[in-house]
Amino acid sequence: MSGNPKTDMSSNAQKDPDEWVSGDEPMTGAQRSYLKTLSEQAHQPDAYGEDLTKAEASKRIDELKQSLDLA
- Please give the pLDDT value at position 57: 96
Of the pLDDT bands very low, low, confident and very high (cuts 50, 70, 90), residue 4 is low
In a domain, 6, yes or no: no
Q: For 15-63, how does the pLDDT look when each residue is reduced to its tens digit (9 = 90+)?
A: 888 888 888 999 999 999 999 999 999 999 999 999 999 999 999 999 9
The answer to whether position 34 is within a domain reads yes
* Cα–Cα distance for residue pair 10/67, rounded to 1 Å: 26
What is the extent of the structural domain holding 53? 24-67
Inside any domain, residue 42: yes
Asked if residue 1 belongs to a domain, the reply is: no
Instruction: Give how many domains the chain has, as a whole number.
Output: 1
Q: Are 28 and 54 in contact (CB under 8 A)?
A: yes
Please check whether residue 46 is in contact with residue 40, taking contact to mean a CB–CB distance below 8 angstroms: no
Any domain includes 9: no
